[in-house]
Every structure is written in structure tokens, then in C-alpha cells.
A and B are shown apart, each in its own frame.
Chain A
Amino acid sequence: SQQGEEDPQALSIQEGENATMNCSYKTSINNLQWYRQNSGRGLVHLILIRSNEREKHSGRLRVTLDTSKKSSSLLITASRAADTASYFCATDEREAAGNKLTFGGGTRVLVKP
């Protein structure tokens, strides 16, 4: 079963604009991670935010985490055509043993040149 819901399901923007996508989850977590997937290929890890962190930056990426609302957002600033991909949030649930990620449904982002 999927832990998270992502919103929006799809996003179309112009190059240079910012893209924001949101993720909600259901259970207590150790951390939340964001991944990118190009055209049904493997997932690329973007950023990990721990449950005791509220905001994290990596290059043009900014992630926030609100554990009281069980939600996270990913902001991509100054988007490029190469950012066109599907983006997934994944949670590492506190009650789960080992390394198990529970993924959201993903947001498909199209960046038009």
C-alpha cells in the first residue's frame, strides 16, 4: 500500500519558473526522501530530511517537512528542461524494520523550454 499522496499529480511549467509539489503521509517516520525518475528508468535520490529537521536545501532544491501535519514539500527553483521527470516522496516509517521505503504516487513535471 502507498503511504503518501502527492499533489499535484502533474505539473507543467515554463523553463525558469519554480515548481512546487507536496506529499502527505500517514504514519510516524524516521525520515522522508525525494526521488526523481526519468521515463520509467531507475530512481535518483535527491534529498533526505530527517524527522527532527524542518527544512533542507540542496542546490536548486528546497524541502520542508511538517511532522505535525504529516506533510512535506519539494521546491525546484529556476527549473530547466532537464528537470522534466516524475518526482516521488518516500517515507522511512518508524515502525518498519530495516530499510523499507513507502512511496507516494508521484508528481509528473514537464518543463517547457
Chain B
Amino acid sequence: KAGVTQTPRYLIKTRGQQVTLSCSPISGHRSVSWYQQTPGQGLQFLFEYFSETQRNKGNFPGRFSGRQFSNSRSEMNVSTLELGDSALYLCASSSDTGSGTEAFFGQGTRLTVV
């Protein structure tokens, strides 16, 4: 079974631009979550999608958004990039409809904002 695939792996953007990151979950998994990892704030939950619906959202500004497609693939978008958005963005997929199962993480997208 293929794992969680995130593209691109690395990205360099300029302040003010926008960026779209992609995540393909494990086949059969309908839950996709996104996390931001920075040295200062650690791992923080962005949002979770299940069956194309956002089921949970973290404390991030509206510049951070996401969506999920009917094949469970997910994208997250960050608009009007700021230097502080530089981070490793991790996507995770889970099989369960609720809580209580492990999350499988992709290798992440390293975003650098200059």
C-alpha cells in the first residue's frame, strides 16, 4: 500500500504570494489532517477534512484554508504569505470515521518564505 504523498517536497515563495500544497492519503483513508511544524511553536493542528467536509479547525488565521476532493486527496492554501509561515507542513491520513486510530504522516512540504 502506498503511503501518504505530499507534493512538492520543497518550496520557496516570496512574501505576499500564495501557495498550494497537495496531499494524497493512503488508499481507502477518508480523513486528512494538516499540521504546521516550526522550531518555535512545534507541531500545530491546522484542520481536518473527512468526506470533503472540514470537521475540525485549529487556531490559524483565515489565510490558511484547505479542501478535500471526492477521491480524498486534499490541498491546503496559504494566501498573502508572511515570513512566519516558513515551516514544515505535514499531512496525515487516518482510516477511522471518528477518533482512536493512528495517523499516517507524509514526508512533509518544507515551505520557505523570503
Residues of A whose CB lies within 8 Å of any CB of B are 1-2, 30-31, 33, 35, 40-45, 48, 50, 88, 90, 92, 96-106
- Would A105 and B103 count as touching, CB distance under 8 A? no
- Would B90 and A92 count as touching, CB distance under 8 A? no
How far is A105 from B42 in the complex, measured between Cα atoms in Å?
6
**Which of B98, B100, B108 contacts A41, CB < 8 Å?**
B108
- Would B105 and A44 count as touching, CB distance under 8 A? yes
How far is A43 from B50 in the complex, measured between Cα atoms in Å?
21
Min CB–CB distance B16 → chain A (angstroms) = 26
Question: B44 contacts which chain A residues (CB < 8 A)?
Answer: 1-2, 103
Asked, given contacts A98-B31, A99-B96, A106-B42, whether A45 binds B102 with beta carbons under 8 Å apart, the answer is: yes
Question: B64 contacts which chain A residues (CB < 8 A)?
Answer: none
- Would A96 and B102 count as touching, CB distance under 8 A? no
**Which of B45, B50, B55, B107 contacts A42, CB < 8 Å?**
B107
- Is B26 an interface residue when CB atoms closer than 8 A count as contact? no
- Would A99 and B42 count as touching, CB distance under 8 A? no
Question: B106 contacts which chain A residues (CB < 8 A)?
Answer: 42
Looking at A1, A101, A106, which has the most chain B CB atoms within 10 Å of its CB? A101
Question: B92 contacts which chain A residues (CB < 8 A)?
Answer: 43, 99, 101
- Would A92 and B99 count as touching, CB distance under 8 A? yes
Nearest residue in A to B49 (C-beta to C-beta)? A98
